[in-house]
Structure 1
Amino acid sequence: MGGGMVAMLFSDIEGSTVLLRRLGDQYLDALEGHRRILRAAWTAYGGTEMGTEGDSFFVVFPTAGDAVRAAVDGQRGLAEHRWPGGERLRVRMGIHTGTPGVYDGDYWGMDVHLAARIGAAAHGGQIVVSAVTGQLTQLPDDVTLRDLGTHHLKDIPEPERLLQVTIVGLQNDFPPPRTLGTSTSLPAPATPLLGRAQDLDRITGLLGRTDVRLVTLTGPGGSGKTRLAIGAAAELTTRFPGGVYFVPLASVTSERVLWTTIAEVLDIPPRERSRVVNYLAQRTLLLVLDNLEQLPDAGKVVAEIIEGAAHVKLVATSRRALGLVGEHQHPVAPLPVTDAADSAAVQLFVERAQAVRPTFTLTPENTADVIALCRRLDGLPLAIELCAPRLRLFSVKEVLARVDQSLDIASTSTVTPQRQRTLRDTIAWSYELLSPEHRRTFRRLAVFAGGADLAAVEKVATSIDPLDVVAELRDANLITLSDDADGTRVRLLETIRQYAAEQLGATDEDAAVRDSHASYYAGLAEQLERLKKTTSDYPIERAETELDNFRTALAWSTDHDVRTGLRLCASLGWVWVLGGYLAESRGWHEQVVAAAGTTSSPELAACLRGLSNLLHLQGEPERAYEVANRSVEMSRELGDAAGVAFGLAVLGSVHRQRGDLAAARSTLVDAVDRHRALDDPWRLGRVLSHLGGIEEDLGNFDRAEELLREALTITESLGDAHEIAVQGQNLAYLLTLAGRLDEAAALAQELIPTVLALGSPSLTMAFSNTAMNILLRRGDPVGAAELFGAEEAMGERLEIPNPYLREELAEALALVGDTLSRAAWDRHRQAGRAARVEDLLGQLTLAGQPHS
């Protein structure tokens, strides 16, 4: 298998977990049929399978046209096949054409990542291709390409224009691709937008005016504010070249997390306020901020965005106005209910009723009752969506009678607004239809933020089979289910979650359930930290999925169970650092440390270590030194040998940052000796590497090499790909400084595929610096200058400061000498700033080059 241009296709079955649950043993027959059909298509067009795992394929084709024709034939074959149980297998496919690297019989590089991201953006039954693939493909007569616009794909720095392969006779209408930013970050609505034409006209008209920056959609819970905001934003995508971004904030309760959540949607590391404002100030885009009513500082954040980003406009949804100067309110009324059968509320009721009873239609016998029911629900979309599924069990007349009985009790209240009483009682009616155990589980689900998987539901919320209770709650439309990488996820709409929380708060089990929630997620945090040390695949995506639950657990435990809060802080440090949440992590650490007071404990010592590391990373060495010392002394008082060893490792790094290499060396020597007595090879490898860095700084290259090679051997035995790359790059840099360029180049060349595949910004920049130093010493000042500029620009984009930039530049220019003029160096350095570090590394050949 050689290099050159190829087309890469990724495919998998959409909703495979749900399909497996429905088909049971028949799923294997379906999976085999799926593989047989697609493999026939791959083979017919010269495809080579590079990977097959579960229901997914990674196939490489000689040309873009071969890949597209194979995908078309595959989709046709899947559509024509009769699947077990009358099911329909929906396979999503993504294709990109490029020149990936070839290493050890496999393809690697950004082109492969881009193809995989395009596949993940597609929907079941859809084929999505990159622009270059579309340009290189000659299509059959009954196949065309539809432009889906420009999209931001996860972990791909530059936007990509995507195209849909449209096939005559097959489904061609799909929701927007699942991508970041632009219009495609908008959720795909589950229901049509009915009866909102006038609302859409006013909102889009307001946002089209140059003097309008903020439109706030206000109204009671369940009135359809979110759905209307999504509909309006979808009509405005072409007006905002920087994109349209939907920011869900139902689980957010603080200004700090609000900034973090906006940054996550925009895909901005680090996730901090200043970075968000700076990013927005350079773009023309639309932000949809959904569910702001529970945030007391929401107005402050919105005002700062408006003042700092002149070309950004915002749509906000809230039950109350933000109270800002220049805010334009748009009250969202319930859907109109008239005596006509075609009113928007009635249409919505019929649409949702047919979802559970396909044969349901309006008839002369039931139309009056449907209209009366919609009127009794005041046309509230959420109330209608809660009631309509009950037609699976009852007639319209029976549903109307039950709603009347429930609502009449509360209708005499003069305190609660009528529409809120209506919605509350609609939820209450569904709630009261549940069995006692299902009601207990439903109200306990209120403690979860951002949803929960079935394991968490079982441990925290129910004592019966979680599948049974989830099915019942889903039938009652009290929860929503989604299929993610870790299985089924259970969520409550925010209005329903608030009702569940009220029910939970009225019982004597509220505190116990919240304690259970916090304890469960502290245990999960500890489990994920162990996995990070013992597996080659960091569970960072799993951890980030649960960030809202971790935050909720931290907030509760800080006030009610500090020990659990300390456990969470101690276990989540790596998540905050790798995810770019340094400011938020520091806030949690300081809050929990303050709540813990002066009572010594191993958990507090661990939390202090984490806080010291954060202060170290944020450039506060003196405070980091103070906190690290406190951690070490506390562990000594407790007789905690492991805690002392861990604390000394942190303290040694802080000494180095303070410029005291002698203290750093003696501290880390002590830490190494203590770690050798502990059964924790992962930490031993880390501290050996730190000590190796000190010996390198002191010019003791032989001793530094011994330490780094031992660290690398330990890490390789653990199979930790990220740490292997870190230690390998450290060793390559040392060999470069020692003048052993052939060895350094060979090692660095081996590491390039791993570094690029891992995608860690800090590792990529460190490795780029090592590669630049090798090029400088091998007589390639042009390549070195380009890498220098690319790394410099990457650090500025990510706000990762390089305090040694001036010294590194002086050293580089000294090594260049007369081989390249200063003007030429600056020219190539500037060219590098316009390139991606990953692209330059992917094209690099270090091993085998002669050096001057």
Structure 2
Amino acid sequence: MYLKTFGGAALEGAFLHRPKPLLLLGYLAVEGARSRQHLRELFWPMAADPAASLRVALKQIREAAPQALHEQNDILTLLLPSDVVELITAFRGSPEEVLRLYRGEFFSGLKLDGSDEESELGAWVVSTREHFAGQVRSSLLRFAEQQYLQGNQARAAGLVRQVRYLPGAKPLDAADLGRLYNLALEAGSELSGLLREEAQEFGVSLVKVAAGEESFSARDALPRSTTSFIGRQAELRELTELLNTPGVRLITIQGVGGIGKTRLCLELAQVQGTTSLAFVPLSNLASAEHLSLSIAQAMRLNLASGIPPMTLITSAIADDAFTLYLDNFEHLLPETQVLEDLLATCPNLRIVVTSRQRTALSIETLFPLTGLDQSDGEHSDAARLFLSRARQANARFRVNSGTRETVIEICQLLDGTPLAIELAAGWVRRMPVQQIAAELSQGLELLEAGDGLGKRKSLRAIFEQSWEKLGVDERRFLMALSLFRGGFTRTAATAVTGVTLRPLLALLDAAFLNVSKDGRYTQHPILAHFVQEKAQQFLEMQQELLVDFARYFSSVRKLVQPSPNTTESNNFGGARGAVQNTTTLKWPSKEQVTLTS
């Protein structure tokens, strides 16, 4: 079953047509879990017996869809997928999904009783309708500008019409009317005249666009997020300094999938003190052969001229100061020659790349990105991100003395990974944070798709993409290294798995491993979880390695006693467990251990 709220409400897959029960489901989809008392006061404020009215509505819902609602301690939670939750997710960067999901205004054609129309419930319907229509309009206007900058004039003109006639939206304000007029004028939309007349009617001053002049800059077409940018201020300062450092011309922001590379790159482009830039999203680029074409489109160059895209790009930039932002470059690594050629031809060009793997070019400055800071407890960047996204999922969510430590624990379990934190926070609409933490401590199934994330990529999908790019030996060694629970030294890794320096470096380049200042290798806990799942497919190999693992640490323990609660103590604990299941090894006794300070 599926709850449809845009363009006429319906519970697809069930027979439920009464407006009040449908609106009740829609309210829970938008606002999250609510108490019986809250619902009866909002939906039936003037009823003789509001509680009885709510019971009737719930009975109608349960008869039509028995699994639609979950109730605990008088708190009702919607369990059905819905277009409204998917639309909220699509606002984060999927304009095509926004177009697909928004089929009309929120609860179009809803007929409420006269008293309801003037009540708090009626006001909520109107404000919610206007809110979503406004969000859709903003998303489509940005999308139209991006399409025009990429050379898709016909698509941009079509989007102009959709923005102008969007169902449920309030009249365009002065700023959006000006943007839409300029876009219509340049894209050749027949609506430019109408928009000019509307502007004159409402006294809006439009800036006349000279022939050949850009009416909006590349900065206007940057993808914009509907969520706040939290944390990463230190990283933003460092990257800004790097961009202004003479000789630094290629910066690669490298990290695992979901670590926040794209969002940081976008924020960097936003704060850059110039409009001489182009942001080029590459995740959907099927072939590396089209890289130069995508750059030329993002720069709004005239591709109809027949001149090769590379020539257009270098001629347009020439000796000017210009910054290219290339997002999600990892699958285009064979095309690094394009980057070298651009940098060689354009002396004042700077390129910022986001990638799960480094480009390995000699001119590259690597900027490794790890999880959000967690050092300040509930005030840390990681905890603030969780709180922000949790309040989006449930506006009444608050951190108190009973949940404070649990939120911190969740952020630690996820190692500060922004996407994982957002996915986990989305579940507060369905379960308390204590249950979220308990689920995460048992495994990462909760993060497979998140709560109502529609077609958004899961962490598993991101991992699978990275896994496919590894060579056979790199996969084999990575599965072997998953035995280590507390990180490892190169000596230990070689002794247990036989890994050499080359595959270790390859795994570092692919962001599957990190290395600390003291030379110790670690693995992101989320990646480690997925790698351990892969390793379960090769139990015989793992059993053989487990013997080597236990043998190594049992011999080391004769020389050194690990301090408790350290990363190395985790490996000793794992080895002890392996020894207990292995008849050929014996764990050394305390008398055999030489303690060291």
For Structure 1 versus Structure 2, the TM-score category normalised by the shorter chain is: 0.3 to 0.5
More helix per residue: 1 or 2?
1
Larger radius of gyration: 1
What is the TM-score normalised by the length of structure 2? 0.46
What is the TM-score normalised by the length of structure 1? 0.33
